[in-house]
Amino acid sequence: MFGGFELRRCEGDGARLRVRHGGRGPAVLLLHGHPRTHATWHRVAPLLVAAGHTVVCPDLRGYGRSSKPPTDADHRPYSKRAMAADCVAVMRGLGHERFALVGHDRGAYVATRLALDHPAAVSALSVLDAVPVGEALRRCDATFAARWWHWFFLGQTRKPAERIINADPDAWYQDTPEQMGAEAYEDYRRAIHDPATVHAMCEDYRAGLGIDREHDEADRRAGRRIGCPLQVLWATGDDMADLYGDVPAVWRDWAGDRLDGGPIDSGHHIAEDAPGPLVGALREFWRSTAAHGPHRE
C-alpha cells in the first residue's frame, strides 16, 4: 500500500497530522471522509503519481493517527475552518503554495472551506458526494432526516454517541477488508477502536451542525464564491441525486465561472470502489482547466 510514498507527521495549525506523500509534478491534496483515514486513497494515489503528480494524503485532525486537540463548547477546534487551516499549513511545510484539491464526504466540507478561506492556494477543487454543509441543513426534510439521521445522532452532546459506538465499533461501522483492501482496513479499524478518535469524529459532526453552518451562512450572505474551477462528482450508488435532483445546481450559487460535474458508477466510497474512473474524471477536469492553475501537461 502506497509503495514509494513517505509517511511522516507534519505540523498543521494547532494539530499534528499524519501525512503520506509521494510523486513529482503538480501537487494534489486528497482529503478523506468519515470514518476513513488517508488510506482510503491507496488505490487512487499511485495512479495520480504515475500520471505525473505529487500526491499528499493526510489524516484530518481528529481522524486516524493525527492529533486530537481538546474541544470547546462551540466545537471550534473541529470546525472545517480549523481543519482547512491545518491542511494549508501542511502543504506549505511540504513546499506547495498552490495545489489541486479533492475532498470526499466530510473531507469535501474541509476542501470547500479551504477553497473559500484560502483561495490563492487552490488551483482547482473537486468535491465527491457532498453539497455545502449549510445547503444540506437548509434543505433538510423528512427524507434527509431519515437517510442521514447519523448527522444528528453523532452531533448530540446530551446523550453522546461515543458510548454506543465504542461498545462495538465493528458492528457500528460494518466495513470490510474486501471493500477497502486488507492494509487500508487494518488502518481504519485501528482508528475506529480508539475512543479518542471516535470522540473527535463526533466532534466533527457537532461542529457541522453549529459553527460550520454559521461559517457557510456568513459566506452565503456575503455572496462569497469559490474562485477556482469547481468539479462536483457523485456516486450512482449513493443518494445524492435522490436528495437533490440536479446536484451541480445546488453548487451554482457557490461556484465561480467554471462548474463541471457528473456521476460515477460506484458506491459511496468512490476512491475504493472506482479508482480508475475517478482518476480519469479528475485528470480530464484538470486538463480542461489548465489555464487556471499549474496543471499543464
Catalytic residue check, 105? yes
Q: Spot the catalytic one: 117, 118, 175, 268.
A: 268
pLDDT of residue 289: 87
> What's the pTM value of the predicted model, to 2 decimals?
0.96
pLDDT of residue 251: 97
Residue 91, C-alpha cell as written in the block? 502543504
Q: Spot the catalytic one: 59, 86, 105, 219.
A: 105
Whether residue 12 is predicted with pLDDT greater than 60 in this model: the reply is: yes
Full 3-state SS string of the chain: CCCCCEEEEEECCCCEEEEEEECCCCEEEEECCCCCCHHHHCCCHHHHHHCCCEEEEECCCCCCCCCCCCCCCCCHHHCHHHHHHHHHHHHHHCCCCCEEEEEECHHHHHHHHHHHHCHHHEEEEEEECCCCHHHHHHCCCHHHHHHCHHHHHHCCCCCCCHHHHHHCHHHHHCCCHHHHCHHHHHHHHHHHCCHHHHHHHHHHHHHHHCHHHHHHHHHHHHCCCECCCEEEEEECCCCHHHHHCCHHHHHCCCECCCEEEEEECCCCCHHHHCHHHHHHHHHHHHHHCHHHCCCCC
**What confidence tens digit (pLDDT) does each residue in 271-294 have?**
999 999 999 999 999 999 874 444
Superfamily in which the 6-288 domain is placed by CATH: Alpha/Beta hydrolase fold, catalytic domain (3.40.50.1820)
Whether residue 295 is predicted with pLDDT greater than 90 in this model: the reply is: no
Catalytic residue check, 268? yes
**What confidence tens digit (pLDDT) does each residue in 258-272 have?**
999 999 999 999 999
**What confidence tens digit (pLDDT) does each residue in 118-155 have?**
999 999 999 999 999 999 999 999 999 999 999 999 99
Residue 205, C-alpha cell as written in the block? 459532526
**What confidence tens digit (pLDDT) does each residue in 89-99 have?**
999 999 999 99
